[in-house]
């Protein structure tokens, strides 16, 4: 194998240090027991559009987040979804080139594309897939928040052009529903409360 020398070895060492630092940070947060309960997670979650660049997300965390997505409720338990995990920088750039509102992917560590499979609902419970995929997407946001990551849900479905463009990039037959950017937040938008009594009818 070729030796990595000179400036490349310095850059590689810095990169490895940075990744180790971020992973250690996440571990520290966990060891402090800063795990939130569901209501706290929902209250504090915000869309994150600026991430610490170059951080790699441990695979076990990605799997836990995907499991949360797959645990979402779905009409007749049809689970009309599949998920594409993108860590490849060129693919992330390609998504940025076809979707006008995903510039946060520049610094995000990765994206999860939630894709719908409406055909699995034929003859059972047609057309519920947007609700099901929405529930799966929200589970991704909440599971990631609890694990200490930031996310941003970016809509794809029902914009036909975006669906087609994202589908071509990720090479699936299913219907891209949402792009979820994911990474370690490099901004901390304040939690906000939206409880509005005018939106509630008590009977």
Ligand X SMILES: Cc1cc2nc3c(=O)[nH]c(=O)nc-3n(C[C@H](O)[C@H](O)[C@H](O)COP(=O)(O)O)c2cc1C
- The footprint of ligand X (CB under 6 A) covers 46-47, 49, 101, 152-155
Name the residue nearer to ligand X (CB basis): 35 or 101: 101
Cβ burial, residue 147 (10 Å; 0-12/13-18/19+): buried
At closest approach, how far in Å is the CB of 11 from ligand X? 31
Name the residue nearer to ligand X (CB basis): 19 or 44: 44
| H-run or E-run covering 111 | strand 110-116
At closest approach, how far in Å is the CB of 22 from ligand X? 22
At closest approach, how far in Å is the CB of 47 from ligand X? 4
At closest approach, how far in Å is the CB of 101 from ligand X? 3
21, 27, 123, 163, 166 from 173: Cα distances, Å? 39, 38, 20, 11, 11
Contact 134, 125 (CB under 8 A): no
Name the residue nearer to ligand X (CB basis): 128 or 153: 153
Name the residue nearer to ligand X (CB basis): 49 or 117: 49
Residue number of the CB atom closest to ligand X: 155
**Cα–Cα distance for residue pair 179/1, rounded to 1 Å:** 37
């Amino acid at each position: 194998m070729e030796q990595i020398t000179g400036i490349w070895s310095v850059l590689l060492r810095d990169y490895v240090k940075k990744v180790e630092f971020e992973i250690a940070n996440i571990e520290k947060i966990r060891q402090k027991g800063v795990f939130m309960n569901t209501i706290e997670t929902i209250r504090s979650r915000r869309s994150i559009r600026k991430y610490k660049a170059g951080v790699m997300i441990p695979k076990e965390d990605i799997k836990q987040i995907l499991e949360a997505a797959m645990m979402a409720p779905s009409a007749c338990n049809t689970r009309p979804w599949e998920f594409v995990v993108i860590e490849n920088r060129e693919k992330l750039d390609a998504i940025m080139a076809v979707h006008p509102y995903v510039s946060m992917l520049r610094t995000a560590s990765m994206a999860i594309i939630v894709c719908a499979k409406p055909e699995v609902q034929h003859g059972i419970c047609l057309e519920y897939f947007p609700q099901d995929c929405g529930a799966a997407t929200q589970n991704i946001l909440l599971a990631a928040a609890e694990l200490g990551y930031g996310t941003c849900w970016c809509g794809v479905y029902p914009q036909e052009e975006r669906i087609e463009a994202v589908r071509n990039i990720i090479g699936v037959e299913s219907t891209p529903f949402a792009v979820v950017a994911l990474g370690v937040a490099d901004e901390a938008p304040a939690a906000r409360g939206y409880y509005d009594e005018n939106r509630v009818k008590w009977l």
